Amino acid sequence: MKAGDYNENVEIATAYLTLAGKGADVVTVTAASDDHVFEVTDNHVNISGFNVAGATGATGISNAGIYLKGAGHCNISDNNCSYNDGNGIYLDSSSNNTLLNNTASNNEGDGIYLDSSSNNTLLNNTASNNEYDGGYYGIELYDSSDNLIYNNYFDNTNNAYDNGVNTWNTTKTPGLNIIGGSFIGGNYWSDYKGNDPDGDGLGNMSYSIDGDGNSDYHPLCPPSSVKGDLNGDGTLTPADAAIALRLAVTGACDDAADVSGDGTVTSLDALMILQAAADMVEL
C-alpha cells in the first residue's frame, strides 16, 4: 500500500493474503466508527508496515487496531497499533500466529490481548503506556496457553497478566536483545527489581507475571550508563573487573566489557576497570 492516510475498516476473510504497507511511519489506516481497523477471520494472512489507529465504537474495548478471530498461521509484523479505544492487537480464538516487531502503545485497553488462543509466538514487540485505570495491561493472556513470549519490551503501569500456562522466555542465547544487551532470554520489564551480578544482561531473579504463577526466568536488564559497570549496580567495583577477566578467558564478546575499545575483551580491560574502581574514577 502506498504512503498516505486511509480511513477504513479492513475485513480480511481470504486465506493466503498479504497486505504490506510502505512502513508504519508513512502509511496510516484509521478506523471508521464502531469497528476494528483490521479484522482477520481466515488463515495464512500477513499484515505488515502500517500505522493502525482510531478503533472506536459503542462496543468499546472489543474494538482493536488489529483483530484476529479464529485465524491461524498469520504473521503480524512491523506495525504501530496505538491510540485505539480498545486493544492494540487482539487475538481471539486464534492459534499458531506470529507477532513480530510491532508497537502497541497508548491504547485504552491492553496493548496486546490474547483470549482463548494458543501456540502463538510474540517476539520483539513493544507495549508501553497502555491504559491501566480499568485494569488493563501491556499484555494480557486470558484462557490462553502454550504461547511463547520473549525479547519484548514492556513499560506500562500494569505490565502483564496471564491465567494460563505460557512460556515467557527462551533459553539464554548469544545475540543482540531488544534493549541492546548481548544475550537473548526473556523480556524487558519496566518494574523489574532484580539486578545483573554476572553482567550477562539477564536478571538474577525471575519476574513474576500477575495471574496464575507464570514467570519470566531470564528478564532483561538494561546496560549500565556507567562505562565498565558490567553487573549493573551503578558503580565500578572489583566485581566488574572479575566479570571482564572471565569474559577475556572464555573469549566471549561483550561491547560493554571492551573498555579499551580495541574490539576484544582482554585482561587489559579487566585491569582498567580494577584501577578505575580503586581510584573511584570514571573510565
Residue, of 58 and 197, whose pLDDT is higher: 197
Q: Which residues, listed in sequence order, are joined to residue 52 by a DSSP beta bridge?
A: 29, 81
CA dist 156 and 117 (Å) reads 23
Report the chain's mean pLDDT, rounded to a whole number: 90
CA dist 209 and 213 (Å) reads 7
Give residue 2's pLDDT. 65
Cβ-proximal residues to 204 (8 Å cutoff; 6+ apart), any chain = 194, 195, 196, 197, 198
pLDDT band, very low/low/confident/very high, at 60 (cuts 50, 70, 90): very low
Domain 4-216 annotated CATH 3.30.200: no
Mean pLDDT of 230-246: 84
Mean pLDDT of 112-136: 93
Give residue 183's pLDDT. 93
Residue, of 180 and 94, whose pLDDT is higher: 94
Predicted confidence (pLDDT) at residue 61 exceeds the cutoff of 70: no
Predicted confidence (pLDDT) at residue 58 exceeds the cutoff of 60: no
CA dist 81 and 66 (Å) reads 7
| Region for 5 from its dihedrals, namely left if φ exceeds 0, alpha if ψ lies in -120 to 50, beta otherwise | beta
Residue, of 270 and 62, whose pLDDT is higher: 270
Q: How far apart are the first and last CA of the chain?
A: 49
Mean pLDDT of 106-134: 93
Predicted confidence (pLDDT) at residue 229 exceeds the cutoff of 50: yes
Range 190-193, long-range pairs (CB < 8 A, 24+ positions): 190/154, 190/155, 190/156, 190/159, 191/159, 192/219, 192/221
C-alpha cell at 79: 506495525
Predicted confidence (pLDDT) at residue 59 exceeds the cutoff of 50: no
As a whole-number percent, the residues of the chain with pLDDT over 90 amount to 57
pLDDT band, very low/low/confident/very high, at 62 (cuts 50, 70, 90): low
Residue, of 280 and 94, whose pLDDT is higher: 94
Q: How far is CA 138 from the centre of its chain?
A: 10
> By C-alpha distance, which of 259, 263, 262 is closest to 273?
259
> By C-alpha distance, which of 190, 186, 138, 192 is closest to 161?
138
Mean pLDDT of 70-79: 98
pLDDT band, very low/low/confident/very high, at 1 (cuts 50, 70, 90): low
Comma-separated ranges of CATH 2.160.20 domains in the chain: 4-216
Give residue 77's pLDDT. 98
- Cβ count near 43 (within 10 Å): 18
C-alpha cell at 140: 494480557
Predicted confidence (pLDDT) at residue 5 exceeds the cutoff of 60: yes
CA dist 51 and 47 (Å) reads 11
2-11, 83-92, 154-163: lowest mean pLDDT where? 2-11
Range 202-205, long-range pairs (CB < 8 A, 24+ positions): 202/172
C-alpha cell at 100: 513480530
Q: Are 80 and 58 spatial neighbours (Cβ–Cβ below 8 Å)?
A: no
56-65, 199-208, 267-276: lowest mean pLDDT where? 56-65
Predicted confidence (pLDDT) at residue 216 exceeds the cutoff of 60: yes
Residue, of 154 and 236, whose pLDDT is higher: 154
